[in-house]
A and B are shown apart, each in its own frame.
Chain A
């Protein structure tokens, strides 16, 4: 109907990429993980043991869960800037109320998921940018986390600790957990019939609405799921650290966004990949270890992680361009 629409339709005809390029793009995240892993093995062969991998990758599990949360939001063309402080809040509640009075802790965490779902509804109904809403929530969760846990401490509930320190035979637990997360979300989002609607509402909301589906519901479901996985991330984190701190999830917002993009997702258009995103999260976690092994000072590490991101995205852009 709009002239812009017809122009983009013409352009879309040109941007279609061929099957081999698509395959190359799909394995790019796995390729970058393999590269980082090879780097680690080369720098320090002893790290590639059951115990070593456990140690290197276990902090990747909460990052992977937070990345899943972020991915749900990105699927419907939004962005969650508050996931990091939300993880802090969950960790603080987990190490205090959930430990001391489990029913209260459970109730608070369920309520927090409800707040997330409500944010989705507000963003849809009031048509406000999610960046603004979640930027506000960033400070709300941060404040609540400090209120709950003014100074570092608390204690993770025993069952959380036990799950995160489960010793799987042969294959280290973080790998099993990562596969489990990736496959479960993949099945839910990529293979179920409603998952297609959820992704479609990121690709062409108008078409989904015209087919009679509720766009309010898709937003609420996706933000609700983000809340659920945010809770999982916070609990997984204190399961590893055994205690919490109100700033524990600080880096998670950017890590989760980077993980989604590194894993082949795009900011708009409902194009995401759950398995890719898990791999992206693990790559970012391992990259830190690799840089440690390479004796790169922590001052430079953030920059080096950024460099990895740029290299992978540049590779993707090159693949897209040559595919035309």
Chain B
């Protein structure tokens, strides 16, 4: 840190919150000229949020952004573009209905007028030839018709194309997630060539080997803060994993959460004593093998168990939960039972969605209607829904789960986010379902609510229900009897409660360096 090269960008004291969640808590971040910065961190560390702020697609609440010598007031997307900042986002952002050349034009307002199509085609073809020789992608191909690997190649190549605006900084958020190792190394070699010309690069990847090999400097984030930053050469895999997980703050919180549960939930003492021994003594409720799983590993969930699904988000956990949900639906129609041999479910299932607004609540309905909808068969009076039963049903659950509202007849949106989530839990727990699938349901929920719900989950599990709990929060795994870690759509680790530790989960979530 003795001689810092002049910066391309400098973010100073950036803060950003989404509702109750503090995504960034005062981050300083800089990329120097001719520097490739590796950015690593576990789920929710704030990497993506930070990059969105850099790309101008999110506005920070406080903090300032300096690009070169300018610190513009109204920093936004088009300004970032003008200043030469490009971003390849984690989720693909090509227009599937446009051709490859047209997608290249989308990024460049300078490509216009007569002959723009051939101009755009030449530009993207030349860049693809340069980065991925022998790519086999025609500029007139429609993007949506191409396989995902080729689309990622196009998107990456597009970010490096230059017309009027300069290219000063390229942000690559998981740029190799759909590339094979050959294409990935071609890309990363190109990154080094571009960096050698003086441009900057931010590289985010769950392949720690890539980050270690191709970055000059590595920044480690955790809980919305930068915890470590140093030359890449001074890190190795173990040190990175340690830095990502073992921040002091997190350590202190873990026992706290567990203690409060132990003291509140009467049944949890017994579970603490016999954590792994209970496996196999109760009947198996769910048996599921992810579609990508080539070895024989499968997910097992017994009666009365809380099974955690961990790993980086988007690595197949939600897909498997939905697969289990569908399998349960199918088994209700005998003819279609044999559709998926990889998943077996013995009992009715209920799903608690993580994306509350899109997949969870019915925004036009009242709170009691939202709670009762999963149990309509039980709330019927002959053919019609009995409002009295629906009401008493909702009231019973309001009492158990403490939904804070003066009137259950109010619209669901009158509740705070945490209470909306409680209503969704009441919907699932109130149903006849024996198996509950939770798709990271605690996102953006305040701590007090979380503790209440954890307690309820443990009580319900003790009463014989089975929970499959996908969570991106490390502390929540401490509530589980058994944890499966996912990577690239496969189960890569199968941890008993006794073996569970944050390092183990992070270790398994990030791939070995041998991949590159």
Contact = CB atoms under 8 A, between A and B. Distances in A.
A120 interface: no
Interface stretch (A30-38, A197-205, A278-286): A197-205
A5 B91 contact: yes
B98 interface: yes
A209 B145 contact: no
A13 B147 contact: yes
B94 interface: yes
Interface stretch (B99-107, B190-198, B266-274, B369-377): B99-107
A270 B97 contact: yes
A191 B48 contact: no
A6 interface: yes
A20 interface: no
Contacts of A207: 93-95, 106
A16 B93 contact: no
Interface string B75-96: 0011011000001011111111
Interface in A1-40: 1-7, 9-10, 12-13, 15-17, 22
Nearest to B317: A3
A197 B106 contact: yes
B238 to A, nearest CB: 29
Nearest to B148: A13
Contacts of A13: 147-148
Contact of A3 (B57, B98, B319): B319
A11 to B, nearest CB: 10
Nearest to B470: A3
Interface in B110-153: 111-113, 116-117, 142, 144-148
Interface string B356-398: 0010000000000000000000000000000000000000000
A310 to B, nearest CB: 25
Interface residues of B, number: 45
B63 interface: no
A211 B144 contact: no
A199 B98 contact: yes
A211 B145 contact: no
Contacts of B93: 204, 206-207, 210
A204 B77 contact: no
B218 to A, nearest CB: 23
A232 interface: no
B329 interface: no
B148 A193 contact: no
Contact of B145 (A16, A193, A270): A16
Given A210-B57, A210-B77, A202 B97 contact: yes
A193 B144 contact: no
A200 B358 CA distance: 24
Nearest to A209: B77
Given A6-B314, A203-B96, A16 B146 contact: yes
Contact of A193 (B96, B105, B147): B105
Contacts of B112: 193-194
A212 interface: yes
Centre residue among B89, B106, B317, B354 by max chain A CB count within 10 A: B106
A206 B95 CA distance: 9
Contacts of B92: 9
Contact-residue bracket for chain A: 35 or more
A124 interface: no
Nearest to A190: B102
B77 A212 contact: yes
Contacts of A9: 91-92, 148
Contacts of A206: 93
Nearest to B93: A207
Contact of A204 (B87, B96, B111): B96
A220 to B, nearest CB: 18
Given A191-B117, A211-B81, A270 B95 contact: yes
Nearest to B104: A196
A48 interface: no
A269 interface: yes
Contacts of B80: 212
B109 interface: yes
A16 to B, nearest CB: 4
Interface in B458-473: none
A208 interface: yes
A193 B113 contact: yes
A316 interface: no
B381 to A, nearest CB: 34
Centre residue among B102, B146, B358 by max chain A CB count within 10 A: B102
A271 interface: yes
Centre residue among A3, A191, A194, A204 by max chain B CB count within 10 A: A3
B23 interface: no
B151 to A, nearest CB: 8
Nearest to A1: B91
A198 to B, nearest CB: 10
B319 A7 contact: yes
A9 B178 CA distance: 11
A203 B95 contact: yes
B55 interface: yes
Given A10-B148, A17-B145, A212-B81, A200 B102 contact: yes
A3 B439 contact: yes
B316 to A, nearest CB: 9
A64 B98 CA distance: 24
B318 A16 contact: no
Interface in A174-194: 191-194
B254 to A, nearest CB: 26
B355 interface: yes
Nearest to B155: A207
A16 B98 contact: no
Given A3-B314, A207-B106, A196 B148 contact: no
Interface in A286-315: none
Nearest to B106: A211
Nearest to A16: B145
Contact of B106 (A4, A6, A196, A269): A196
Interface in B302-320: 313-314, 317-319
Contact of B91 (A6, A209, A270): A6
Centre residue among B48, B93, B358 by max chain A CB count within 10 A: B93
Centre residue among B57, B113, B117, B145 by max chain A CB count within 10 A: B145
A213 B106 contact: yes
A196 B48 contact: no
Contacts of A208: 95, 106
B473 to A, nearest CB: 16
Given A9-B148, A200-B95, A1 B90 contact: yes
14 contacts: A1-B48, A1-B90, A3-B319, A3-B439, A7-B318, A7-B322, A12-B144, A16-B144, A196-B98, A196-B102, A206-B93, A210-B57, A211-B106, A212-B78
Given A196-B98, A199-B97, 10 more contacts: A3-B319, A7-B319, A13-B148, A16-B145, A193-B111, A202-B97, A203-B96, A203-B144, A204-B93, A207-B106
Nearest 10 interchain pairs by C-beta:
A3-B318, A203-B97, A212-B78, A203-B95, A207-B93, A200-B95, A16-B145, A196-B102, A193-B112, A193-B116
Interface of B: 48, 55, 57, 77-78, 80-81, 87, 89-98, 102-103, 105-107, 109, 111-113, 116-117, 142, 144-148, 313-314, 317-319, 322, 354-355, 358, 439
